[in-house]
Structure 1
Amino acid sequence: MISFKGVQYPKDAILYAVFFYVRYSVSYRELEEIMQERGVEADHATLNRWVVKYSPLIADEARKKKRKVGTSWRMDETYLKVKGEWVYLYRAIDKHGDTVDFMLSKTRDEAAATTFFENAIGSNLLPEKVVMDKSGANRAGLININLYLLLAGYWWSFIDILQVKYLNNIIEQDHRFIKRLTKPMMGFKAFHSAQATVAGIETAHLIRKGQLDQQVVPAYRQFMALAG
Structure 2
Amino acid sequence: MKQNLNRAVAKVLKSLHYPLDVILLCVRRYAAYPLSLRHLEQTNGERGISVRHPTVHRWTLKLLPVLEKPFRRCKPAGGRSWGMDETYIRVRSEWKYYLYRAADKAGNTIAFLLRARRDKAAARRHFEKAMTLNGEL
What TM-score does the superposition give when structure 1 sets the normalisation length? 0.46
What pairs up with 1:50-89 in 2 under 5 angstroms?
A: 50-77=59-86, 79=89, 86-89=96-99
Aligned twin of 1:23: 32
Cα drift, residue 65 of structure 1: 2.7
Q: Counterparts of 2:66 and 2:85 in 1: how far apart (Å)? A: 24
Q: Is the Cα contact below 8 Å between 1:90 and 1:116 reproduced in 2?
A: no
What pairs up with 1:187-198 in 2 under 5 angstroms?
A: none
Q: Counterparts of 1:121 and 1:89 in 2: how far apart (Å)? A: 18
Aligned-pair identity (%): 41
| Post-superposition CA distance 1:26-77 (Å, at most 9, x none) | 3222211211223322211111122233233333222223233222112224
Q: Flag structure 1 segments of 5+ consecutive residues without an equivalent.
A: 128-228
Aligned twin of 2:102: 92
**Other structure's SS at 2:14 match:** coil
Structure 1 stretches of at least 4 aligned residues deviating more than 6 Å after TM superposition:
none
Q: Counterparts of 1:67 and 1:40 in 2: how far apart (Å)? A: 32
| Post-superposition CA distance 1:137-171 (Å, at most 9, x none) | xxxxxxxxxxxxxxxxxxxxxxxxxxxxxxxxxxx
Aligned twin of 2:132: 122
Q: Which moved more, 1:18-27 or 1:35-44?
A: 18-27
Residue type of the alignment partner of 1:115? R
Residue type of the alignment partner of 1:66? K
What pairs up with 1:39-54 in 2 under 5 angstroms?
A: 39-54=48-63
Larger fraction in strand: 2
Aligned twin of 1:102: 112
CA separation of 1:91/1:10 partners in 2, compared to 1, >3 Å: closer, same or farther? farther
Please give the root-mean-square deviation of Cα atoms over the aligned residues, in Å. 2.6
CA separation of 1:89/1:28 partners in 2, compared to 1, >3 Å: closer, same or farther? same
Count of residues in Structure 1 that have an aligned counterpart in Structure 2: 124
Q: Counterparts of 2:74 and 2:43 in 1: how far apart (Å)? A: 30
CA separation of 1:123/1:9 partners in 2, compared to 1, >3 Å: closer, same or farther? same
